[in-house]
Chains A and B, each alone.
Chain A
Amino acid sequence: MSGERSGKNGPSILVGTSGYSYAEWVQAGFYPPATQSGRMLPFYARHFPVTELNYTWYQMPRAEPLERLRAGAPAGFFFAAKLTRSLTHEVDPADWRRQASLFREGIVPLVQGRQLLAVLVQLPPDFERTAGNRRYLAELLDSLAGLPLAVEFRHRSWLHDRVFAELERRRASLVWVDEPELPHLLPPLDVVTNPELLYVRFHGRNAAGWRSGVMQKKFDYLYSEAELRQWLEERLLPRRGLFSRGLLFFNNHVGAQAVTNGRQMLSLLGEAGF
């Protein structure tokens, strides 16, 4: 396994992809022909030290299959898990506390195995900073207390010093995103709210695809090496002293471009002394 970069007295940086189980990655040549989705993780783990589980957004994690997944990964492999949609995008006010409790139960194998580096709380674009939503987010973070949390906002109203201060108080990471420069999307962030964990997601910069709303177009983007280098030099390196561990996830999964960019990023981090 490769993929963790650690600088001298600097932070360790782990690079991975958002999800690893894509049929098209077989066609793209990353996985050997006929690799079944349930057997992709061991192969993936030869290239990257961490993955962001996105199936946990669609389906409430359950301890039994998650334990099987964990057992199939090599020692020293890590996971981030996306919080289930019933707690972010499809919240039932009468049931969300039970959902939070189910999530905590389901994620136990990764916690006990000390392989869970973060729980990604990705909030929907229409989740504005209203009094009700602020209260809900505070209660949600309370209900997940003790788990390593990273919060990804998709509405600009949350870009506020008081929000950052509250995340800092809770030791929750503000997720940095790299995405197309569109008026309604978040601008690049450089605030580190959790000195223990920086969490970055690269969604690609396909503006037309993003407008289409079609997933296969939205995340169809290949970063050039120059773009990655620029991001590294302008965003990460100036703040390398502010955190002890960084997670960089590539979400441009279409055609396995996330794999290509992940490998390039690893190489650039190596050049930068990580």
Chain B
Amino acid sequence: MSERSIIHFNVADFAVAVERLCDSRLRGRPLLVVQPGSARAPVYDMSEEAFGCGVRKGMDLGRALKLCPEARLVAPHPERYRRAMADLLRAARPWAPRIEVESESGHLFLDVTGCHRLFGPPPDVAWRLGRLVRRDLGLSPIWTVGPNKLVAKVASRLVKPLGEYIVGGGEEEAFLAPRPLHLLPGIEGPDLLCFHDFGLYRAGQVAAFSARQLAVPFGRRGSHLYDLVRGIDPSPVAPWEEAGSLGFEACLAEDSNDPAVVERELLVLAETAAGALRRLRRVARRLTLSLIYSDGGRAGQQAASSGGSANDAVLFDLARGALLRAWKRRQRLRFLRLACDRLAPPPPLQLELFPAQPAGHQHRRQRVADAVAAVRERCGAGSIGRAHVFAGSAQGGASVAAGP
């Protein structure tokens, strides 16, 4: 396979950068983007100054203010971030046939493989686009060039909050070898603790082990980790979609480690997401579930559906699968975020020639979901729902919000 050229653009602390564009008085001092009013509210984003004081995303506001008392607070404006992201995409579109929005938080992957005859070498494309974004949008992106998304992203994390890095094909393993393991996407919390227990702190140390050896402590994830520390990542840059992704989040009314409570909130998120997808006439082929624990710890997992879906029950099943894989600690949960991306038009309906169940189960579920959506469309989002969700709400449910 010929070498790929992937550019990663990342406007660090995207929400902060956008808020500072809107209000220049916010520049040059610590800034927290957070829903004010509750000391439990998780920090949505923070400036580099606040990061330097120890504030992290997901940390509760009370603790963040103890660490950084001089920080100014701004409420999140998801619509602003979506618009800024759309502008960023618009600037990038002429430069690459494939653009992936990793999430609506200032991350873009551009696959410029084979474009050199049109636009020149990839570093030149990255530099010119970066200059354009700075001039036209007032945002200062990090840009990196690598042979795959993994390497390009690690390079971005290395130079954050500002800078550039070029990694050539064939240099992946040598580039990663001296890097701390926490810089590698996908190695978090429990994995890191496990590696540290073995006295392993850098990618190069882990690369000394075979996939079989890594399977002993990590099970089936062993082979994934084996590839990760070597910079092997064949995942494609997913084609750009008009509505790149949708995100929905919920802050639990009280921190909880009760699976029934958490699943109830997840169901609300899945139903909200499915409704939004149906309104857009799209299906989601990938869900990303992000969790924030009450101590600020984070976890996340993804679930994919090859054909995509906008069905409440299907999305909930996918999300619940992700929840089971992501929720590894006994610590109580505070915050859930469900993002849907790899959006696509619904596949054409193909009836089965020999259906296993006439008027099958799936079909009935779809009809129920459509009926529920129709009622919500007419009478409002809270007008109809599953009984146990309403029961949960009566005991103090969460608020759901659409986010970037």
A residues apposed to B, CB below 8 Å: 19, 21-24, 26, 34, 36-40, 55, 58-60, 64-65, 68, 85, 214-216
Contact = CB atoms under 8 A, between A and B. Distances in A.
Contact of A65 (B2, B121, B175): B175
Nearest to A62: B165
Nearest to B113: A23
A73 B175 CA distance: 17
A84 to B, nearest CB: 10
Contact of A39 (B5, B116, B170): B170
Given A37-B168, A58-B164, A65-B175, 16 more contacts: A21-B121, A23-B2, A23-B3, A23-B114, A37-B169, A38-B169, A38-B170, A39-B170, A58-B124, A59-B166, A65-B171, A68-B174, A215-B119, A216-B116, A216-B118, A216-B119
A36 B168 contact: yes
Nearest to A24: B116
Interface in B330-360: none
A21 B168 contact: yes
Given A58-B124, A215-B124, A23 B168 contact: no
B123 interface: yes
B147 A55 contact: no
Interface of B: 1-3, 5, 114, 116-121, 123-124, 126-127, 147, 163-171, 174-175, 178
A58 B166 contact: yes
Among B5, B121, B170, B174, find the residue whose CB has the most chain A CB atoms closer than 10 A.
B121
Given A22-B116, A23-B5, A59-B164, A36 B169 contact: yes
A38 B171 contact: yes
- Sorted nearest first, the 8 A-B pairs with minimum C-beta distance are A38-B168, A36-B169, A36-B170, A38-B170, A38-B171, A37-B168, A215-B120, A39-B170
B169 to A, nearest CB: 3
Contact of A216 (B120, B126, B166, B178): B120
B169 A55 contact: no
B404 to A, nearest CB: 30
A64 B178 contact: yes
Contacts of A24: 116-117
B116 A23 contact: yes
A59 B2 CA distance: 24
Contacts of B123: 55, 58-59
B165 to A, nearest CB: 6
Contacts of A21: 121, 168
A85 B127 CA distance: 10
Contacts of B127: 58, 85
A55 B124 CA distance: 9
B121 A36 contact: no
A272 B3 CA distance: 40
A206 to B, nearest CB: 14
Contacts of A214: 120
A58 B122 CA distance: 11
22 contacts: A19-B121, A21-B121, A23-B2, A23-B5, A23-B114, A23-B116, A24-B116, A34-B1, A36-B3, A37-B147, A37-B168, A37-B170, A38-B169, A38-B170, A38-B171, A55-B166, A58-B123, A58-B126, A64-B178, A215-B124, A216-B117, A216-B119
B133 to A, nearest CB: 14
Among A23, A38, A64, A65, find the residue whose CB has the most chain B CB atoms closer than 10 A.
A23
B178 to A, nearest CB: 7
B335 to A, nearest CB: 37
Contacts of B163: 60
Contacts of A40: 168
A34 B2 contact: yes
A63 B118 CA distance: 32
Nearest to B115: A23
Nearest to A215: B120
Contacts of A34: 1-3
A76 to B, nearest CB: 22
A24 B120 CA distance: 10
A40 B169 CA distance: 10
Nearest to A219: B120
A38 B167 CA distance: 8
Nearest to A22: B121
Given A22-B121, A23-B3, A65-B175, A59 B165 contact: yes
